[in-house]
Amino acid sequence: MEIAIKELTKTFKDRVAVDHLSLTIGQGEFFALLGENGAGKTTTIKLLSCLMEPTSGDAIMLGDSISENPQAVKKKLNISPQETAVARNLSVKENLEFIARIYGSDKKEAEQKAEQLMDKFDLKDWAKSKGRTLSGGLERRLSIAMAMISEPEIIFLDEPTVGLDVRARLDLWQILLDLKGQITIILTTHYLEEVEALADRIGIMHKGRLRALGTLDELRKQTGQAKLQDVFLQLTAEEGTG
Amino acid sequence: MRALTFAQRNRKEILRDPMTLLFGMILPLLMLWLFSMMAENMPFDLFTLRKLAPAIIVFSFSFITLFTGMLIGRDKSSSFLMRIFSSPMTAIDYLIGYALPLLPVAFIQMAACYGTALLLGMPITYDAIPAFGVLVIISLLYIAFGLFFGTFFTDRQVGAMFAIFVNITTWLSGTWFELDMIGGIFETVAYLLPFAHAVDASRAVFAGDYRAVLTPLVWVIAYTAVIFGTAVWGFRKRMRG
């Protein structure tokens, strides 16, 4: 079972945000989606997580279609949005329990899961702290823990380390590395070193289209560049300028 | 079940915000006290407790619109709504979850205002029992406006919209002056909107004049249905991206 994206397209009035995107992501893969601002990454995530209906095309998410059976798809996935999306007047523990319960856990199970996730993400000391009082790093950790508490098969991480200091970022990388292989992770980020450290494969989008797809080594070979930054710049260069 | 879980979260978000206590509870009680003191020196009976208290309770519901609108607006701007939109919750779950926790807030506002009015000298009456029922219906109108504002505007816009809304609801409701004192287009416009009808229904039911409740209540229910329906339509549209 895998994620099979077939000719996925989303247009807004006269603008094409995602243009006939086709690719396959294996189960348990850590996949990074790169692109400049406006390349179509966030729209792709919204389409795959059933937050938006495609104009045409489809994606089969571990056996279920985003167009035909979005409710079944939603049960399999969770998302950590670009903004941390934490309930500000709820404590860390309450935030986790809330998400567990809307995904179907009863009160006791939600409490147990919240305890486990607080342990795993080192949040126990802040269990009673309200969302609005957390530092940026803690909020990010909580945001990902909230996405994990429903035990998703697929998780979308939209810019998970934006605004974090070096230590908080490295801590979060370690958490993400620990998750690797257990679930399918789809990451969007502007930090290329993050992609080098974490991703199994990389897709590079430009103006809604998939410009390149492969492992870091494959992309290096394809472009003849050594650094991911140069690979990225070459692949996203405008026609005639590259 | 999911709707109730979501309602619980929303109840905590609203009640843990000190602004709720300040604007939703203390301000209406303060106004009730101040205007009831003014009644002694007024040549007309508008600010007597039997007319003032039912109108101030309706006025206090304006803040329910603010709480609902701000909560949805903040959920949108913080992407919290995006997170829960990707969950298996349905549009009905969301709307029940947002609307349900406001009913106990409305009930507390009614009880606090009525209790204060009794302390200030309003005679106790059995008509307060059906009055609470009518007020619950009226509170749904203000919840619907909150859902509407939250659905179509950001939290910052909701703050600005509320400034306009609270002025419209008070000036065109007959709370602070009799609408027929101005008459003409002003009174006509006021009675084309639901706020004067809400105040009329509230005053009539507290006075035990049940026949005078029906027509204004029909206006209130019709507006509630239209505003709620528009909010549901907008919310579903937003869910589909």
| Facing residue for A49 by CB, picked from B2, B74, B86 | B86
The residue among B15, B70, B79, B92 with the most chain A CBs within 10 A of its CB, best to mutate, is B79
Asked if B241 lies within 8 A of A53 by C-beta distance, the reply is yes
Percentage of chain A with pLDDT > 70?
98
Supply the pLDDT for residue A228.
87
Supply the pLDDT for residue A85.
87
Residue-wise pLDDT for B200-230, tens only, equals 999 999 999 999 999 999 999 999 999 999 9
Binned at pLDDT 50, 70 and 90, residue B49 comes out as confident
pLDDT: which is higher, B134 or B89: B134
- The reply to whether B21 touches chain A by the CB within 8 Å rule is no
CA closest to B81 among chain A residues? A85
- The reply to whether A136 touches chain B by the CB within 8 Å rule is no
- The reply to whether A53 touches chain B by the CB within 8 Å rule is yes
Sign of CA dihedral A163, A167, A170, A174: negative
CA closest to B85 among chain A residues? A51
Q: What six digits make up the tokens of B6?
A: 């979501």
Supply the pLDDT for residue B37.
82
Q: What six digits make up the tokens of A61?
A: 């998410």
Q: Is the pLDDT reported for residue A48 higher than 70?
A: yes
Supply the pLDDT for residue B235.
86
Q: Is the pLDDT reported for residue B108 higher than 70?
A: yes
Residue-wise pLDDT for B121-134, tens only, equals 888 889 999 999 99
Q: What is the mean pLDDT of residues B45-67?
A: 88
Asked if B78 lies within 8 A of A86 by C-beta distance, the reply is yes
Residue-wise pLDDT for B171-182, tens only, equals 899 888 888 888
Give me the interface pTM, i.e. the ipTM.
0.81
Residue-wise pLDDT for B137-165, tens only, equals 999 999 999 999 999 998 889 988 899 99
| Facing residue for A50 by CB, picked from B13, B84, B86 | B86
Q: What is the mean pLDDT of residues A218-237?
A: 88
Q: Is the pLDDT reported for residue A242 higher than 70?
A: no
pLDDT: which is higher, B238 or B100: B100
pLDDT: which is higher, A165 or A133: A133
Q: Is the pLDDT reported for residue A98 higher than 90?
A: yes
Q: What is the 3-state secondary structure (H, E, C) of chain B?
A: CHHHHHHHHHHHHHHCCHHHHHHHHHHHHHHHHHHHHHHCCCCCCCCCHHHHHHHHHHHHHHHHHHHHHHHHHHHHHCCHHHHHHCCCCCHHHHHHHHHCCHHHHHHHHHHHHHHHHHHHCCCCCCCHHHHHHHHHHHHHHHHHHHHHHHHHCCHHHHHHHHHHHHHHHHHCCCCCCCHHHCCHHHHHHHHHCCHHHHHHHHHHHHCCCHHHCHHHHHHHHHHHHHHHHHHHHHHHHHHCC
Phi-psi region of A179 (alpha: psi -120 to 50; beta: other; left: phi over 0): alpha
| Helix H or strand E segment including A118 | helix A107-120
Supply the pLDDT for residue B85.
87
Question: Rounded distance, CA A103 to CA B93, Å?
Answer: 13
Asked if B79 lies within 8 A of A46 by C-beta distance, the reply is no
Looking at chain A, the number of H-run helices and the number of E-run strands are 9, 10
Residues 60-79 of B with CB under 8 A from A: 74, 77-79
Supply the pLDDT for residue B205.
95
- The reply to whether A140 touches chain B by the CB within 8 Å rule is no
Q: In chain B, what is the straight-line distance between the N-terminal and C-terminal CA atoms, in Å?
A: 25
Q: What is the mean pLDDT of residues A108-127?
A: 93
- The reply to whether B2 touches chain A by the CB within 8 Å rule is yes
CA closest to B17 among chain A residues? A89
